[in-house]
Amino acid sequence: MKADPHWKQLFSKLERRMHRNQAIVAVARLVWSVLTHRQPYRHYTSERIAYKYLTWSWQLNAEQRRGLTRPQFVRLGIGSELQRVALDPRYPHRLASEAEILALMPEVRPPG
């Protein structure tokens, strides 16, 4: 499914109450608000977010990934608790360790 289930469900609810174009604008405003206020997106698990980063990494070349491998690139987008991404258990993907990323890119060191 290409659309996010959370926003799709919200859109369906709004569409029942108002014109389709108004519902589109309402959802777009909410998404804009989340992005501009840098609010965390709580409707996806860490594993789902990591999988999104992994699929994104497949579309980028090494230069666009700043020389990082795909598992290293995915690690930049998520926390340290995940070791593998396996939305489909038949195809697990190993992720780079946090230490591996910090050795390559010390500027991404988390605050604290």
Q: Say if residues 100 and 75 touch (Cβ distance below 8 Å).
A: yes
Q: How far is it, in rounded angstroms, from Cα 51 to Cα 94?
A: 11
Give residue 34's pLDDT: 81
- The β-bridge partners of 93 are 85
Q: Per residue of the chain (112 residues), give pLDDT as tens.
A: 356 788 889 999 999 999 999 999 999 998 888 888 877 777 777 777 777 788 888 888 888 888 878 777 777 767 666 666 766 677 777 777 777 777 777 666 654 4
| pLDDT in the model for residue 17 | 94
